[in-house]
Structure 1
Amino acid sequence: MFNTPLPTVNELPSTRKLVRSTVIALLTAVGLLVTVVMPSEYAVDPTGVGRALGLTQMGELKIILAQEALADAAPPQAAAPAPAPQVAQVQPIAKPAAQPAPTPTSALKTNQMSVTLKPGEGTEIKFEVLKGKSVGYEWTAVGGPVNFDTHGEPYNGEKGYFHSYNKGKQVKSDKGEFTAIFDGTHGWFWRNRSTNDVTITLKTSGDYLGVKQ
């Protein structure tokens, strides 16, 4: 049997220290709950730290998997009984007169426009294009080469987000076609890095809704 001496009053932590330790532990727990547990388990990220660490995406994936599991576990609905077949008397049907097939209307649009850039000046021309629609284009720069970026921005997308289809530096022309990967505005940005005025002429043909310049 061991006799352990009891601690003296001076060796015991004071009430102030106990309260401070409790408050620190509580704040730490709340911080972990908000920045780690809630994003990773429930995809709730009020501070944005969870998405930066990849925990919010983990929580979203868990929710999707749980929804799919519930859908798989749901009992199949019984099919409604098929109605009893009815015997109908066959009546001769008059053959309708042949109608000419309607001529399909093309959704393709064509445009040609020009813009002049002073030294150091930049501009862009955008088209409203829906996902899966294609636009063919050809542009030329007269007066000197330009830097360009062919890109698109989704409707109601995150601020600063864009998708680049093609880009280049010190180029006098470009030709090709792009297919929109989302609904939004798609087009070109040019910058004149020369010491002369540069005129850019753009020709387009495709299934787009309108032009924004």
Structure 2
Amino acid sequence: MSLLENTHTLDALFAHSRLLPVITIESMHDVLPLIDALAAGGINNVEITLRTPLGLSAIELLRLERPAIGVGAGTVMDSMQFQAVVDAGAQFIVTPGCTDELLQLGVDSPVPLLPGVATASEVLAGYRLGYRRFKLFPAQASGGVPLLEAFAGPFGDVRFCPTGGITLDSAPAYLALNNVLCVGGTWMAPRSLIREGNWAAIQRLGEESAALF
């Protein structure tokens, strides 16, 4: 796939569901009920991180059992993890930063890459290769809404998925920006509620979050 085709794929994935729960799986028993609760709340895309060894298995399970959900792989750090998540069936890949290795892998990747950036120089590094969609991380710490407003000037054709430090209260300000593709965060599925198995509470958070847009 070309970078242009991958850009169109990302735009299509987030056209109707502009929220991206960032999820770290601690038990495989949580995967399906958690995703079902989010879907019932109106959220149809998720980022499964590789912060635990269960990330790959969770991606495989979701692609098999919940094919209607857009499943991305997050916290991808190197070429081995990149290939592993592609093999697991991830529909998009998210990285916390951008290295030359990761950017080059994404150029020819069969699935879209959202490289992590925090500065204009990092955006330019991806831009020169053809990237037009990025993850802004850590969003709040690196400048938040004012930074994205500033990026809109020189990078008029670029859109971002801000993640990091965003809450239910602060998400609307991000979603209101024209250069925001989607907003990621953990507030939609807090680890405490997952550990409790409180799927009803997560569904309510999903409904409150989906109502933002």
Higher strand share: 1
TM-score, length of structure 1 as denominator length = 0.18
Greater helix content:
2
> Please, what TM-score do these two structures have when normalized by structure 2?
0.18
